[in-house]
Chain A
Amino acid sequence: MDKQLSPNDLAALISRCTGVTVTGEQVTDAGRSFADLGVDSLGLMGVLAELQRNHGMSRSVDMQPNQSPRELLALLGGRA
């Protein structure tokens, strides 16, 4: 597991994979889900695949658009 991914890193990764412009602040907001940010299920699938490929995230991790980037960040060991 890559422990170095910061909120800003995750925000940049989400933006790159989905085209949705996301800030580091938004990914640490527990009240904001992927769906709230405009990331749909396919977009989230792309984000998870990227984390699994290049950031050592377990292949067993699954998330839904109604969950928040903050939850994902917690799984990655980032500081929320």
Chain B
Amino acid sequence: MNAVVTGLGVIAPSGIGVDEFWPAVRDGHVALGPLGRIEPNPYPVVVAGEVSGFEPDAWIDPRITVQTDRFTHFALAAAAMALRDADLDPATVPPFGFGVVTASYSGGVEFGQREIERLWKNGPEHVGPYQSIAWFYAACTGQISIGNGLRGPSGVLVADEAGGLDAFATAGGELSRGAKAMLVGGAEAPFCPYAVCCQLGLGLLSPGEDPTTAYLPFTTHANGFTPGEGGAMLVVEDEESARARGADARAVVAGHCATYTGTQRFDRSAEGLLRAAEGALAEAGVDAADVDAVFLDAMAGQDADAAEAEAVRRLFGERADRVPVTAPKTGYGRCYAGAAVLDVAAAVLAIEHGAVPPTPGVRDCRFDFDLVTGAARAADIRTVLVLSRGLHGGNSALVLRHP
């Protein structure tokens, strides 16, 4: 892949925009709190990562706000931030050379629930026409494409968190086939009763009631993950196109690989993650010995954590206890498809700032790998490996390199 990241737009519980997000992540700030979007909350998930202080009107034409779900508001705002960060005006890119790929897990579920309630309470004529486009997984890709006049190759991937990494591979493929720039990412807004019930059915959510202890992967206390909302969009450009317009390459999207080991078969995901990591490193043309930091999936289930730790141990062998590994998402929640994209954004920032951010809240790691806890670790980071799993069996790995 000759794809470089030139812009970041982030909407996370930890902060809106990179200038808020990075300091919070670097300092291990915990942005989890009581689930406030459902009041009263009758569900056995109490702690969540919610985005606060987000005003759609600051970013989006009110006409579009009415037509779209919160997850699309996040994605549109993040896309606007990313374009600004990249200093890229889409009108300057050849019309069919700029595309968009997003990953989604929940879709426009809050909007969808509102309209379905109108259907069964009042009848079909009470369902708003925008239901037809707002709930759909592809809504973010479509609205970003329309809103920014992007006519290049576009798509959407639905594979939970793993899809957030796969989106970068899809975009990289389009760049290698001639696209000049891609907006890549995804966002989630999974906090309405219907969405929460769907998530509870997975049996993987933490029932913890204390935001400081609810989400503790890799410890003996691990008892499920805390869900989050938000996500990120990144501008990824063909390296030559970026150089030609004088844009700074922030990181190189160097390699990707995905494997599949079965729905909720996290016991098998060690092999799947290992092979994905090896494939991604091979595509990047580097060895495991070159990896300076790993961003972990951190599902916070005993089997899932053990499998991920085993994958790390087998990948690095004797070096396994000396490679810094981290899971910043314990500070803001696992945002489904948005989670992996936020990891990619955090990884790019880690490379830029020379610091591996910590795993907030986690102290007593039960595995013999070098989990960064407490404060960020200063390091000269040339190569980062991001690992991710989908709840339905995908295992993906992405390699990012210093430009």
Which positions in A face B, CB cutoff 8 Å? 17-21, 38, 42-43, 45-46, 49, 52-53, 59
Could you list some 29 contacts between A and B, CB below 8 A? A17-B66, A17-B128, A18-B63, A18-B66, A19-B61, A19-B64, A19-B65, A19-B66, A19-B67, A20-B62, A20-B63, A21-B62, A38-B63, A42-B129, A42-B130, A42-B132, A42-B133, A43-B63, A43-B67, A43-B129, A45-B129, A46-B128, A46-B130, A49-B126, A49-B128, A49-B129, A52-B125, A53-B122, A59-B125
**B66, B132, B133: which has the most chain A beta carbons within 10 Å?**
B66
Docked CA distance A21–B61 (Å)? 10
Shortest B59–chain A CB gap in Å is 14
By the criterion CB–CB under 8 Å, are B129 and A53 in contact?
no
Whole-angstrom CA separation of A53 from B67 in the bound complex = 19
Q: In this complex, what residue of B is CB-closest to A48? A: B129
A19 and B125 contact, Cβ closer than 8 Å, known pairs A42-B130, A42-B133, A46-B130: no
How far is A17 from B66 in the complex, measured between Cα atoms in Å? 7
CA distance A18 to B61 in the complex (A): 11
In contact, B63 and A19 (Cβ under 8 angstroms): yes
Chain B, range 109-156, C-beta contacts under 8 Å to A = 122, 125-126, 128-130, 132-133
Query: How many residues of B are in contact with the other chain, CB < 8 A?
Result: 15
| CB–CB A49/B125 < 8 A | yes
| Nearest-neighbor residue (CB-CB) of B126 within chain A | A53
Other CB < 8 Å A-B pairs besides A52-B125, A53-B125, 15 of them?
A17-B66, A17-B128, A18-B66, A19-B66, A20-B62, A20-B63, A21-B62, A42-B67, A42-B130, A43-B63, A46-B129, A49-B125, A49-B128, A49-B129, A59-B125
**A49 proximity list for chain B (CB < 8 A):** 125-126, 128-129
CB distance from A49 to the nearest CB of B (A): 6
Residues of A near B133 (CB, < 8 A) are 42
A46 to chain B, nearest CB (A): 5
Chain B nearest Cβ from A63, distance in angstroms = 13
Q: Which of A19, A43, A45, A52 has the most CB of B within 10 A?
A: A19
Q: How far is the CA of A20 from the CA of B122 in the complex (A)?
A: 26
B68 to A, closest residue via Cβ: A19
Q: What are the interface flags for B25-65 relative to A under an 8 Å C-beta threshold, 1 for contact and 0 otherwise?
A: 00000000000000000000000000000000000011111
Residues of A within 8 A of B67 (CB): 19, 42-43
Nearest-neighbour CB distance to chain A for B108, whole angstroms, equals: 15
Which chain A residue shows the least CB distance to B64?
Answer: A19
B64 CB contacts on chain A under 8 angstroms: 19
For the complex formed, measure the closest distance between the CB of A22 and the CB atoms of chain B, giving whole angstroms.
11
Chain B contacts of A20 at CB under 8 A? 62-63
Contacts of A38 in B (CB 8 A): 63
Which of B63, B67, B125 counts the most A-chain CB atoms under 10 A from its CB?
B63
Q: How far is the CA of A17 from the CA of B133 in the complex (A)?
A: 15
| Chain A minimum-CB-distance residue to B122 | A53
Q: A18 to chain B: which residues have CB within 8 Å?
A: 63, 66
CB of B260, distance to nearest CB on chain A (Å):
38
- Which residue from chain B places its CB closest to the CB of A42 in the assembled complex? B129
Contacts of B129 in A (CB 8 A): 42-43, 45-46, 49
Interfacial chain A residues near B132, Cβ < 8 Å:
42
Alpha-carbon gap, A49 to B125, bound state (A): 7
B127: shortest Cβ distance to chain A, in Å? 8
The 3 A-B pairs at the shortest CB distance, nearest first, are namely A19-B66, A19-B63, A19-B62
With the chains together, A46 CA to B129 CA distance in Å? Answer: 6
Distance A59 CA – B61 CA, assembled complex (angstroms): 30
Among residues of B, the one whose C-beta sits closest to the C-beta of A38 is B63
Nearest Cβ on chain B to A57's Cβ, whole angstroms: 12
From residue A53, how far is it (CB to closest CB) to chain B in Å?
Answer: 6
